[in-house]
Chains A and B, each alone.
Chain A
Amino acid sequence: EPEVTQTPSHQVTQMGQEVILRCVPISNHLYFYWYRQILGQKVEFLVSFYNNEISEKSEIFDDQFSVERPDGSNFTLKIRSTKLEDSAMYFCASKRGPGGSNTGELFFGEGSRLTVL
Chain B
Amino acid sequence: QKEVEQNSGPLSVPEGAIASLNCTYSDRGSQSFFWYRQYSGKSPELIMFIYSNGDKEDGRFTAQLNKASQYVSLLIRDSQPSDSATYLCAVSGGSYIPTFGRGTSLIVHP
Contacts and interface: CB of A to CB of B under 8 A. Distances in A.
A42 B96 CA distance: 18
Interface string A77-117: 00000000000000100000011110011111111000000
Contacts of B101: 42
B68 interface: no
Nearest to B31: A100
B93 to A, nearest CB: 9
B31 A110 contact: no
A91 B44 contact: yes
A51 interface: no
Contacts, number: 53
Size band of the B side of the interface? 20 to 34
The A interface, classified by DSSP as helix, strand, loop or mixed, is loop
B43 A42 contact: no
Contacts of A56: 95, 97
B43 A110 contact: yes
Nearest to B96: A99
A101 B49 CA distance: 9
A37 to B, nearest CB: 9
Contacts of B98: 45, 106
A44 B96 contact: no
Given A43-B88, A108-B45, A110-B42, A98 B96 contact: yes
Nearest to B100: A43
Nearest to A48: B97
A42 B49 contact: no
A45 B21 CA distance: 23
A33 interface: yes
Contact of A41 (B45, B49, B92, B102): B102
Interface of A: 33, 35, 41-45, 48, 56, 91, 98-101, 104-111
16 contacts: A42-B102, A45-B97, A45-B99, A48-B95, A91-B43, A91-B44, A99-B32, A99-B92, A101-B51, A104-B96, A105-B34, A106-B98, A107-B46, A108-B45, A109-B43, A111-B42
